[in-house]
Amino acid sequence: MATDYIFIPSVAPRFGRYACWGFNLVHNPDEERTNNSDLYQISKQGSGVVYEGLDLKKEVCYGHNLPLKPHQMGTRRPFDFNVEGLAHYGLIPDMLQDLKNLDMTSEDFEALFSSAEDYLQMWEKTWQVAGCDLSKAGCQPVLTQLDCDKACNGLCPESPNAGAPNVRNR
């Protein structure tokens, strides 16, 4: 789960004025909604996040979670994930509750929560392939041009190393 990108287009609200807003990012929004109507069924959204102390909104079909305390920055108004989506990093717990309300499986949550570890393991494998001894501090990998067919059994695209400077063949 990355937190270094613009949140709003990525996790738009499921209810309210900006519900399922992602179609607006394409060249022809009307065509997108027509061709993928199953992805933008605002009227079929349900199980929104229940909040403590926020007025219920008529456009939100609420779930049955224990009420969350809404995130509030200083004296500003509290945020409502249901109608504002992932407006900022502080709403990640709200997003996770929304996923739970939508019956996301334990296995899917496990994959989501292990994504950082998986990313690190990918880089460890990359450094090993590059010939770096991970037990030595400050190790600099030896850049090599790998035979793509051998390394990926013919499944990877053309090697991005082709013609790169300072690269030696193994």
In degrees and rounded to multiples of 5, residue 77 shows phi and psi of -65, 155
Tokens of residue 73, six digits: 């920055």
Do both 157 and 77 map to the same domain?
no
Element (H or E) spanning 168, and its range?
strand 168-169
Domain count of the chain?
A: 2
Does the residue 60 lie in any domain?
yes
Do both 67 and 107 map to the same domain?
yes
Do both 151 and 76 map to the same domain?
no
pLDDT 10s per residue in the chain (170 long)?
666 655 555 688 899 988 888 788 888 988 988 898 888 888 888 999 999 999 999 999 999 999 999 988 888 889 999 999 988 888 889 999 999 999 999 999 888 888 888 888 888 888 777 777 666 666 666 666 666 666 666 565 554 544 444 444 43
Domain extent, residue 133, equals 129-169
Does the residue 121 lie in any domain?
no
Do both 84 and 24 map to the same domain?
yes
Do both 89 and 163 map to the same domain?
no
With CA atoms as reference, report the closest residue to 8 among 91, 77, 130, 121. 91
Does the residue 122 lie in any domain?
no
